[in-house]
Amino acid sequence: MSPHPQRRRRGEDRREQIIDEALKTFADNGYRNASIAEIATRCGLSQPGLLHYFPTKAALLSAVLDHRDRLDYERLGFEHGLRGIEALERLARLVEHNMHVPGLVRLFTVVTGEAVTADHPARDWVVNRYRTVETFLARALDDGVTDGDIRADVDTLALARQIMAMMDGLQLQWLLAPERVDMGRLFRSYIDEVTAHIAA
């Protein structure tokens, strides 16, 4: 027997609240130093109450990262066939948008740094994210070569990795000194230079 729609909606709302508070906690403290008890308190729940929705801290982290992925995939347009220079333009707009969501940027940066250890529960997510984004971007650049917009001698996979490195490096610098580092402007300038360099 399925739960009453109103009760199901309350459950979904509670899950969203827990994910939101967990995102902030993981971003502020990292995964290792975050506690289920603190997240439960921020949600107005007991620890067993929170564990009813997410049975372990690793399961909660997985839900938070899935939530972040969905947001990025929507903004990046993974569901659409971006081709060539259009994909680079979309990345520039994503970085500009990220300046308005520092919590998400901080979460990504903290968890990515922690996940270099072999036993971190987010390691597979981080590795898969890099592979997914570099494949998506390299394929879009390959399509630009096919369309005649990008030079045929461009190493598209190497360029995709360089662009991701620039994004992540600027995010770190911006988080450390947001008043001094205009992440959106710097990345836009970089993308403009790359576009001019690779244009057919």
> Domain boundaries in the chain?
5-198
pLDDT score recorded for residue 104: 86
Average pLDDT, the chain: 90
Q: How does pLDDT run across 85-104, given as a tens digit for each residue? A: 999 998 999 999 999 989 88
This prediction has a pTM of: 0.82
Tokens of 24: 């902030």
Q: What is the 3-state secondary structure (H, E, C) of the chain?
A: CCCCHHHHHHHHHHHHHHHHHHHHHHHHHHHHHCCHHHHHHHCCCCHHHHHHHCCCHHHHHHHHHHHHHHHHHHHHCCCCCCCCHHHHHHHHHHHHHHCCCHHHHHHHHHHHHHCCCCCCCCHHHHHHHHHHHHHHHHHHHHHHHHHCCECCCCCHHHHHHHHHHHHHHHHHHHHHCCCCCCHHHHHHHHHHHHHHHHEC
Q: Domain 5-198 is of which CATH architecture?
A: Orthogonal Bundle (1.10)
pLDDT score recorded for residue 72: 73
Percent of the chain with pLDDT strictly greater than 70: 94
pLDDT above 70 (res 157): yes
Q: How does pLDDT run across 3-13, given as a tens digit for each residue? A: 667 777 888 89
Higher confidence at residue 54 or residue 71?
Answer: 54
pLDDT above 70 (res 76): no
Lowest mean pLDDT among 12-16, 20-24, 67-71, 156-160: 67-71
